[in-house]
Chain A
Amino acid sequence: MNIERRKFDTLVIGAGGGGLRAALQMAQAEAKVAVVSKVFPTRSHTVAAQGGMNAALANVLPDNWHWHMYDTVKGSDYLGDQDAIEYMCRAASHLVVELEHAGVPFSRLDNGKIYQRAFGGQSQDFGGDQAARTCAAADRTGHAILHTLYQQNIRSKTHFFDEYFSIDLVKDDEGYILGAVVLNIETGEPLLIEAKTTLIATGGVGQLFRTNTNARINTGDGIAMTLRAGIPVQDMEFFQFHPTGIAGKGMLITEGVRGEGGYLINKDGERFMERYAPHAKDLASRDVVSRAIAIEVREGRGCGPEGDHVLLKLEHLGSDVIKKRLPGIRDMAMTFAHIDPIKEPIPVFPTAHYTMGGIPTNRYGQVVMPTEQSAEETIPGLYAVGECACVSVHGANRLGGNSLLDIVVFGRAAGNHIIDYLKENRTHRPMNESSVKAALARLERWDKKDEGENIDVLRQELQRVMEDYCSVFRTEEILADGVKKVKALIARLDNARLRDHSKVFNTARIEAFELENLMVLGLATVESALARKESRGAHSRIDYPDRDDKHWMKHSLYFEDGRVEYKPVRTKPLSVDSFPPKPRVY
């Protein structure tokens, strides 16, 4: 077939923190590494993470990895896999020190140690007093990590394909993944990258929802590619809504504000979190706070003319504290909500923030799926890390500061596993031309020139449907309608056409691919949510308000044909005792 081809030992799709950490590990072991990214690597979404990264360094308050593990298991509402969680929490301190040595300028205490701030869901002594576990490089933690990893990769001779869009994986009849067909955005020409291993690190799918905190690039491409390759996606019903997005806009007001003493009030001026989480109050975990806000609004205690939001109050902290410790938040409120939080509270409402579900992997980053032989058969040559993956350390609800940790811990672990795999798989397998052809057919589909539906309109409709039928509150009826509506949109997508058929920088074509990915993931999300008849973590069903461990303490697996199957949670940690499920009170 007439398509340009390049060969590498290993292909990394995605240049955020997860992809770059893995690439670095492999490049330093002298593997020939290709990294593909649809935007310049340092514009990946990791750059947006300001709050920080968790590690039980105990620099500010007493702490240890076991407490961190407990908080993460509890935060996950007992859907997190305890082997992976133990692995992550144990590795955390080492990874922070490693990043520091690599050049990440973590903020410091007067005694020279790394400063740590308090975030929601962190406790001392297995549910006791608030802990302070989050390390930050001022308010640029993600930026600092991304830039440091990028520079190190350049030094280690990682080959970057900047502004290349990955379309689909290529696989052979035995199920080995052989690389991917990617598109050079600048020239519009496809390229086949052949690799002995392929690692997907394409980030989350926040663009599924109209109000979200994510960059526009977060369209879940890698998760959708995996689904199309015949692999199910896991726990897609669990989407984290951050409790404090600027109402109507979506931008994030970090938990740090509540860590510094900010709190939420309803239209009666009541500090309502005291009712929902008497102990942790405004610092309870995200799903708890999001649901509380949604209940206040539903029950008529919302603020504003439409009663559609609550208020985040900071004035009592005083102008000096706000200016000194929360300057970014003040600017944000002034720019996007036209409000000065020194004088007035900020209108907030939950906003779609983080994809807990994704590509099922084990703790080495290997992609796994059930087969007749085993419940977790590895897909040879395929790995996934970061927000697109579901390892699963976040279970039904991620704790703030655990994602930057996840991406570096499992990026490194996957890199190490791939190095071993490459030692045993020294040659490229023969290319499967029919798989290449199938990927290219997806390109050709958009060459049709007659009249049809508009991509932008369909995307907006999908985001609206997801927000109305699959957000913080869910019922059988609402979700069943949601499934119908998403299916109707998918049918209309068949008739969508591009206005622009040029080759060079045809961003309309890229947006069409992104929309195809969003559509399949939208359906995966609503179908999985409809199937789960309980409330757990971020998945909250009005008709099944309680967690049901007997029937539902299991991961969902959604297949492209619409089937939903389940697999057990890994409740056995590596070396310590399991944390058995308990009611989750904060």
Chain B
Amino acid sequence: MNNLPSSKIYWRCRRGMAELDMFFQGFLNNDYQRLSKTERDDFEQLLTCHDNDLLEYLMGRTTPSESNLINVVTKIRQSANSKT
């Protein structure tokens, strides 16, 4: 099955901050395709958050109040940390 991110997801990952672009680009290219169907839905939900909140989550300063988002946030953070 083709699990690659759709163009829509790809575009919605275009954000107002270089840091977010950096997190998302790496994740889309390397790890997105390993997400389950539920995780992909969570990822899509995560993309509706405000840029500043996303930055806080991805930098590990706060966790999203919606508990279903915590798992994808962790995966994106791991993806960023695994690269140098």
Residues of A within 8 A of B (CB): 39, 42-48, 140, 143, 147, 163, 185-186, 212-217, 249-252, 327-328, 331-332, 335-336, 338, 500, 502, 504-508, 510
Beta-carbon nearest neighbor of A138 in chain B:
B52
A499 to B60, CA, bound (A): 37
Which residues 1-36 of B have a CB within 8 angstroms of A? 6-8, 10-11, 14-22, 25
Is the CB–CB distance between A43 and B16 below 8 Å?
yes
What residues on A are CB-neighbors of B19 within 8 Å? 251, 332, 335-336
Is the CB–CB distance between A505 and B7 below 8 Å?
yes
A93 CB → nearest B CB, Å: 26
What residues on B are CB-neighbors of A500 within 8 Å? 7
Is the CB–CB distance between A43 and B11 below 8 Å?
no
Is the CB–CB distance between B18 and A250 below 8 Å?
yes
A507 to B61, CA, bound (A): 32
What residues on A are CB-neighbors of B50 within 8 Å? 42, 143, 147
Residues of B within 8 A of A (CB): 6-8, 10-11, 14-22, 25, 50-52, 59-61, 80-81, 84
Is the CB–CB distance between B80 and A335 below 8 Å?
yes
A237 CB → nearest B CB, Å: 23
Of the residues A47, A212, A335, A505, contact of B17 by C-beta under 8 Å: A47
Is the CB–CB distance between A335 and B51 below 8 Å?
no
What residues on B are CB-neighbors of A214 within 8 Å? 18
Interface centre among B20, B52, B60, B61 (most CB of A within 10 A): B52
A217 to B51, CA, bound (A): 14
Beta-carbon nearest neighbor of A40 in chain B:
B12
Of the residues A48, A213, A249, A332, contact of B16 by C-beta under 8 Å: A48
B80 CB → nearest A CB, Å: 7
Of the residues B15, B22, B59, B60, contact of A39 by C-beta under 8 Å: B15
A203 CB → nearest B CB, Å: 10
Is the CB–CB distance between B18 and A251 below 8 Å?
yes
Is the CB–CB distance between B16 and A163 below 8 Å?
no
Beta-carbon nearest neighbor of B9 in chain A:
A505
What residues on B are CB-neighbors of A336 within 8 Å? 19, 22
Is the CB–CB distance between A217 and B14 below 8 Å?
yes
Beta-carbon nearest neighbor of A147 in chain B:
B50
The count of A-to-B residue pairs whose CB atoms sit within 8 angstroms is 85
Of the residues B6, B16, B61, contact of A46 by C-beta under 8 Å: B16
Is the CB–CB distance between A43 and B61 below 8 Å?
no
Is the CB–CB distance between A213 and B18 below 8 Å?
yes
| A507 and B7 contact, Cβ closer than 8 Å, known pairs A43-B15, A217-B14, A335-B80 | yes
What residues on A are CB-neighbors of B21 within 8 Å? 215-216
What residues on A are CB-neighbors of B51 within 8 Å? 42-43, 47-48, 143
Is the CB–CB distance between A48 and B80 below 8 Å?
no
Q: List 20 A-B contacts (CB under 8 A).
A: A42-B16, A42-B50, A43-B14, A43-B16, A44-B16, A47-B16, A48-B16, A143-B50, A143-B51, A163-B11, A186-B8, A215-B17, A215-B18, A251-B22, A252-B18, A331-B60, A335-B81, A504-B8, A505-B11, A507-B11
What residues on A are CB-neighbors of B11 within 8 Å? 39, 163, 185, 505, 507, 510
What residues on B are CB-neighbors of A39 within 8 Å? 11, 14-16
Closest 5 CB pairs of A and B: A47-B16, A505-B7, A331-B59, A48-B17, A505-B8
B78 CB → nearest A CB, Å: 12
A214 to B22, CA, bound (A): 11
What residues on B are CB-neighbors of A505 within 8 Å? 6-8, 10-11
A508 to B54, CA, bound (A): 25
Of the residues B7, B16, B20, B80, contact of A504 by C-beta under 8 Å: B7
What residues on B are CB-neighbors of A163 within 8 Å? 11
Interface centre among B8, B10, B18, B52 (most CB of A within 10 A): B18
A333 CB → nearest B CB, Å: 11
B53 CB → nearest A CB, Å: 9
What residues on B are CB-neighbors of A332 within 8 Å? 19, 59
Is the CB–CB distance between B22 and A143 below 8 Å?
no
What residues on A are CB-neighbors of B8 within 8 Å? 186, 504-505
A293 CB → nearest B CB, Å: 20
Beta-carbon nearest neighbor of B16 in chain A:
A47
A60 CB → nearest B CB, Å: 25
What residues on B are CB-neighbors of A502 within 8 Å? 7
What residues on B are CB-neighbors of A217 within 8 Å? 14-16
A301 to B51, CA, bound (A): 38
What residues on B are CB-neighbors of A45 within 8 Å? 16-17
What residues on A are CB-neighbors of B18 within 8 Å? 48, 212-216, 250-252
Beta-carbon nearest neighbor of A502 in chain B:
B7
Beta-carbon nearest neighbor of B52 in chain A:
A143
What residues on A are CB-neighbors of B59 within 8 Å? 328, 331-332, 335
B77 CB → nearest A CB, Å: 8
Is the CB–CB distance between A215 and B7 below 8 Å?
no
Interface centre among A216, A250, A332, A504 (most CB of B within 10 A): A216
A418 to B15, CA, bound (A): 30
A138 CB → nearest B CB, Å: 10
Is the CB–CB distance between A140 and B7 below 8 Å?
no
B58 CB → nearest A CB, Å: 8
What residues on B are CB-neighbors of A252 within 8 Å? 18
B70 CB → nearest A CB, Å: 18
A217 to B15, CA, bound (A): 7
What residues on A are CB-neighbors of B10 within 8 Å? 505, 507
B10 CB → nearest A CB, Å: 5
What residues on B are CB-neighbors of A328 within 8 Å? 59
A163 to B7, CA, bound (A): 13
A327 to B62, CA, bound (A): 12
